[in-house]
Structure 1
């Protein structure tokens, strides 16, 4: 079976096939000027003088959904808007994995929410660790596919660019993995950082691989982390299943309005300019960190961060914190007992990182 022929509904839990979910007052296509069908207040809150939040929001705001579809070059029916990529991950695991039977495949070190969502669903976590190679931390794609087939996985999560490692898989690798998983598992490509990458989005492959889903977010490049707007892009039939499993009103109206404004032409142009700054600063930081004697290795990255191994990670972390710079301590993650992840900030913030580490080395 090819991944184009593979019906994603065959991967859905049998008890959820045809599940309609909760029908809220906003799912009905009714017209009127006096709305008394959702037990909402007839008045706005005193802190909301325009009464914008008096009524429940649209479950999938049409204007926002269309704007996101335009941004990600897909059809609106291929896209579900949710509360960040975290909700999409949780929905996929709940919709596909039978508790106590099915599994998900991950490649550690990686974003922790895949394993958290699996545990909450009582789905087995099958870990095929990344390979620490000369080119960076690389996924073992043939072993990922074999593990999924042999151990009964319904989902394979592929973080690209990888968090915290920074490696991005090319489209040919993703397509080959989707083909290898046809009829067995859904390949979920998490592209939270793809705007910073040289590698194109895997959404370009959706037309040829029905067992593929792509996660995108406005939290990173678009600077809307607090708005919690993320999407899963996949076969429309799978999107319908996920919507039935989703909470009735997932997108608060103020967040939807902010996201829509943030996807306007001028905002997108500003975002593109800032992404270019981050990409330039990423290369400057990679070189600057590599020149420090206390740095063992800086991994190349396609994200807005660098994974750095230190001779004394504890001292480096403390030196940065003493100057007010907070970075992500990765030492508890598999294979990363000497590593910190450093996000790429503004040029001035990046200078503070380098200065703090140079001072720490000089004092050592």
Structure 2
């Protein structure tokens, strides 16, 4: 489908915000104002650092949106700094979007299961009706149904449509053409939120390049996966600057701890980024090797193609496979409670040595059956 930028930009994306939050300024913290001084007595902080805080990182409240980190992330993701909101992982961005756009009990959230569970959790906490348009299990893997997604969003007054790409746990990445087509058809009616937690491992480029054409498009990114900073909890939402300003007003005053910001900034230095790219290349090679090797094992029913750092695998006996792995100290994600995945496990791609342990444990477990 050829998307028309003119049609997509005619509507004001702020019309999708909850009416009671339009113009909401949020909390003005002691760090909100740009003030300069050398004796800080405006935030009731301690005059001394904690004895355990050798670098004096935690004595003062941090910048709400650390300027240096924001600039580094904007450079990494190819967007303007004012188009980017830093939060506590992608989870916070998901929660902020649901709270900012959905009137409780009225405005819906559309997902396509099986998928990352936090979309449904955030919807339930906001009392936003959850509309599930299941992925279709095809010969090519699990695929979304664009027509059904749009129809469900329009019929149920949805304000948010979540699209995970690459999809967790099934692994498929949506093309930019698919994303553009959905954004165009939802323009003025709903935000399309593309969760790209695993996009660094994908052949498909990021949808951030589409935001200028589609103001109802939001892209979520994270440093947790490819950048190996899961414990730092640094995630971002990238969108039109007007929407980012609304989300910031709904956010807690100091969402980014100073030690986490410093660690993330160091992790985005050129040397660190070069090593990250090397490790991503290893994961991609290992993903291909593991898919081929797993497919040859007795008891493996199907290995789905994946653009993420994981593989979804169906087993003749998933309980036995899970137990065989666990008995050797290998922990994988049990997906059997997820819709359509009653026989499936999700296996993250580890180091070559860790991946060999997976293959060995499954081979031994099947031989012992």
Which of 11, 18, 27 lines up with 1:13 in the alignment? 18
CA distance in 2, matches of 1:28, 1:170: 42
Deviation at 1:2, TM superposition (A): 2.0
RMSD between superposed Cα atoms in Å: 0.7
Q: Which residue of 2 aligns with 1:312?
A: 317
Q: What's 2:213 paired with?
A: 208
**Kept after mapping to 1: 8 A contact 2:111/2:163:** yes
Partner of 1:170: 175
For residues 281 and 344 of structure 1, the distance between their equivalents in structure 2, rounded to whole angstroms, comes to: 7
Alignment match, 2:247: 242
TM-superposition CA deviations, 1:166-217 (whole Å, max 9, x none): 0000000000000110111000000000000000000010110000000000
Query: Would you say the 8 A contact 1:12–1:95 is kept in 2?
Result: yes
Secondary structure, aligned partner of 1:357: helix
Match of 1:146 among 148, 151, 167: 151
Counterpart Cα distance in 2 of 1:276 and 1:45:
42
| 8 Å Cα contact 1:300-1:306 kept in structure 2 | yes
For residues 306 and 35 of structure 2, the distance between their equivalents in structure 1, rounded to whole angstroms, comes to 50
> Which runs of at least 4 in structure 1 moved beyond 3 Å after TM superposition?
none
| Residue 191 of structure 2 corresponds to residue 186 of structure 1 | yes
Alignment match, 1:294: 299
Alignment pair present for 1:260 and 2:265: yes
2:3 aligned partner: none
Query: Deviation at 1:355?
Result: 0.4
Counterpart in 2 of 1:115? 120
Partner of 2:229: 224
| TM-score of the aligned structures, taking structure 2 as reference length | 0.98
The answer on whether the counterparts of 1:5 and 1:210 sit within 8 Å (CA) in structure 2 is no
C-alpha contact (below 8 Å) 1:102/1:152 kept by paired residues: yes
The alpha-carbon deviation at position 49 of structure 1 amounts to 2.8
Show CA shifts across 1:136-181 (max 9, x none): 0000011101100011100000000000000000000000000110
2: CA distance, partners of 1:122 / 1:206? 28
Matched residue count: 364
C-alpha distance in structure 2 between counterparts of 1:24 and 1:242, whole Å: 16
Structure 1 CA distance, aligned partners of 2:232 and 2:286?
A: 26
Residue 6 of structure 1 and its aligned partner are, at CA, apart by: 2.5
Does 2:72 match 1:76?
A: no
Which residue of 45, 49, 64 corresponds with 2:50? Answer: 45
Hey, what's the Cα distance between the residues in 2 that align with 1:31 and 1:204? 37
Aligned position for 1:66: 71
CA distance in 2, matches of 1:305, 1:113: 18
Shift of 1:7: 1.6
Whether the 8 Å contact between 2:50 and 2:59 is mirrored in structure 1 is yes
Question: C-alpha distance in 2, partners of 1:292/1:196?
Answer: 25
Distance 1:203 1:122 in 2: 29
Separation of aligned partners in 1, 2:291 and 2:203: 16
1-side partners of 2:274 and 2:55: how far apart?
30
Is the Cα contact below 8 Å between 2:298 and 2:363 reproduced in 1? no
Paired with 2:103 and 2:250, the residues of 1 have a C-alpha distance of 14
**CA deviation profile, 1:261-312 (whole Å, cap 9, x unmatched):** 0000000000000000000000000000000120000000000000000000
Which residues of 2 match residues 91-106 of structure 1 at below 5 A? 91-106=96-111
